[in-house]
Amino acid sequence: MNDDDGEELCAGDSDDGDDQDVQEVMMMLSLKISRMLMKLAIEINQSIILCSNKSKELYYQEDQYLHLLDIQNPVNVNHKYANHFTLIQNKYTGIGIRLTNQYTTNLSKSEWELMQNQFWDSYKDSTHWSSIRNALSQDDEQSSITILMLSKLKMINNTIQLLISDKQVFQVPVFVINEPISWNNEHLVLHFEKSSLKVSIRSSKLPKDFLIETESTSTVLEVKQKILEVAKERTCRLYLNGRELVDKNYLGNYDITSGTILLKCHLQHQKPELDDITTYNINKIIETNKSASIFELILDNCKFNMDTSLNSCNMLNLQNIPKIDSLKRLTLDYNFITKF
């Protein structure tokens, strides 16, 4: 064997060794890749299971609140305002997250606006309710959704009627979301003659009634200004037969004549903060507003704030109230309490 043959054999042995090393490296890489893929598959599977569990938990969370959207269910918030609004089954208004049942009302438009304002005023110290109001004021639905998301308010069944945040539930009544299908104008006398009036103003804080000379074409606000000038106060509210008078309306709209008695309320009284609104009764209102007369508290809560449970109050349970003597002095009409 010559030198050339020896060199060829050495070269062949070297090539075989290199191939073997490459194969071993490839096998190791293949094994590592297989292990990585298996680990990745396990992690993906666990993530899918976790997401599935979260999704199931979310669906369960939604399911436990869905009954609150049933307008036939007594716990639906709209039942608290049933004296003024009647929801129509299977007929809807609004679009997207503002889709609600259509409803009718026995209020005029100005009274409806007043009731809306009073609703929002009752929650003015709540950040969540402020966000809900802000969301409803947007023209663009995506802006509304963004506001709710940033406030950590989750809609149930994709409707702004029902939201939750940290297990706290927010039911939004239909009358602050959409307008009714029609307004009731029967409450206001639209055509009346101009006439001079002498109206009596009654207040539980005054020893007797006092007279105000005015006209049927005077607005409620103008009458209030006269009262405030005499009483040295900054604000007040006026009622006729349990109905609050709207500032921009005329006295003639309410068929007020000489000798009519208007009841004056001094303040917007404080509402206690309660977790369970169903426990919000007249005793708690009195406790929170110890300096106010019981008569003013009834005026302030019976008519418009249906969520206070005062709409069902009557003279029987009022007899247990310590300040009932102030009611006796005013010869309060029984129908005023029970009609609402």
With tokens 């009834």, the residue in question is 298
Same domain, yes or no, for 84 and 153? yes
Please indicate whether residue 293 or residue 191 has the higher confidence score (pLDDT): 191
Same domain, yes or no, for 286 and 260? no
Same domain, yes or no, for 149 and 195? no
Q: What is the CA radius of gyration of the chain?
A: 35
Domain's final residue, options 248, 266, 284? 266
Within a domain: 152: yes
Domain's final residue, options 231, 251, 266? 266
Least confident residue range of 8-12, 31-35, 67-71, 324-328? 324-328
pLDDT tens profile 210-247 = 899 999 999 999 999 998 888 888 888 898 887 788 88
| Residue 32 C-beta-side C-alpha neighbours within 13 Å | 6
Question: What average pLDDT does range 293-319 have in this prediction?
Answer: 41
Within a domain: 214: yes
Same domain, yes or no, for 47 and 100? no
Within a domain: 53: yes
Find out whether 101 and 92 touch, Cβ atoms under 8 Å: yes
User: What range does the domain containing 201 cover?
Assistant: 191-266
In this prediction, residue 107 carries a pLDDT of 87
Question: What average pLDDT does range 79-99 have in this prediction?
Answer: 93
Find out whether 180 and 93 touch, Cβ atoms under 8 Å: no
Find out whether 86 and 104 touch, Cβ atoms under 8 Å: yes
Same domain, yes or no, for 109 and 169? yes
Taking 60 as the threshold, does the pLDDT of residue 191 lie above it? yes
Same domain, yes or no, for 46 and 98? no
Same domain, yes or no, for 84 and 169? yes
Question: What average pLDDT does range 102-113 have in this prediction?
Answer: 89
In this prediction, residue 43 carries a pLDDT of 73
| Residue 2 C-beta-side C-alpha neighbours within 13 Å | 1
Please indicate whether residue 269 or residue 3 has the higher confidence score (pLDDT): 3
In this prediction, residue 130 carries a pLDDT of 96
Same domain, yes or no, for 258 and 286? no
Find out whether 183 and 175 touch, Cβ atoms under 8 Å: no
Domain's final residue, options 242, 266, 290? 266
Same domain, yes or no, for 281 and 246? no
Within a domain: 140: yes
Tell me how far apart the alpha carbons of residues 184 and 191 are, in angstroms, rounded to a whole number.
16
CATH (domain of 232): 3.10.20.90
Within a domain: 20: no
Within a domain: 1: no
In this prediction, residue 223 carries a pLDDT of 93
CB-based contacts of 194, cutoff 8 Å, min separation 6: 215, 216, 217, 252
Within a domain: 129: yes
29-38, 87-96, 201-210 — which one is most confidently predicted on average?
87-96
Within a domain: 281: yes
Please indicate whether residue 38 or residue 251 has the higher confidence score (pLDDT): 251
The count of domains in the chain is 4
Residue 91 identity (one-letter amino acid):
K
Same domain, yes or no, for 147 and 90? yes
Same domain, yes or no, for 103 and 142? yes
Please indicate whether residue 153 or residue 288 has the higher confidence score (pLDDT): 153
- The model's pTM is 0.49
Tell me how far apart the alpha carbons of residues 285 and 292 are, in angstroms, rounded to a whole number.
10
| Residue 74 C-beta-side C-alpha neighbours within 13 Å | 1
